[in-house]
Amino acid sequence: MKRNSTMVTRTVKVKNKNGIHLRLAGELVKAASMFSSEIMISKDSQEVNAKSILGVASLGAEYGAELVIKADGEDEEEAVSYLVKMIDSGFAEVKDE
Could you tell me how far CA 67 lies from the centroid of its own chain? 7
**Under a CB-based contact definition with an 8 Å cutoff, are residues 88 and 14 in contact?**
no
Residue 40 maps to a domain: yes
Residues marked as catalytic = 21
Work out the pLDDT band at 26, boundaries 50, 70, 90: very high
77 lies in some domain: yes
Q: What pTM was computed for the model?
A: 0.87
Whether 32 has a pLDDT exceeding 70, the answer reads yes
Domain membership of residue 94 (yes or no) is: no
**84 lies in which domain range?**
8-88
Name the residue type at position 33: S
1 burial via Cβ count (<10 Å: 0-12, 13-18, 19+): middle
CATH number of the domain that residue 13 is part of: 3.30.1340.10
Residue 69 belongs to a domain: yes
Residue 11: is it exposed, middle or buried by C-beta count within 10 angstroms (0-12/13-18/19+)?
A: exposed
Dihedral over Cα of 89, 82, 94, 27: its sign: negative
Residue 46 lies in a domain: yes
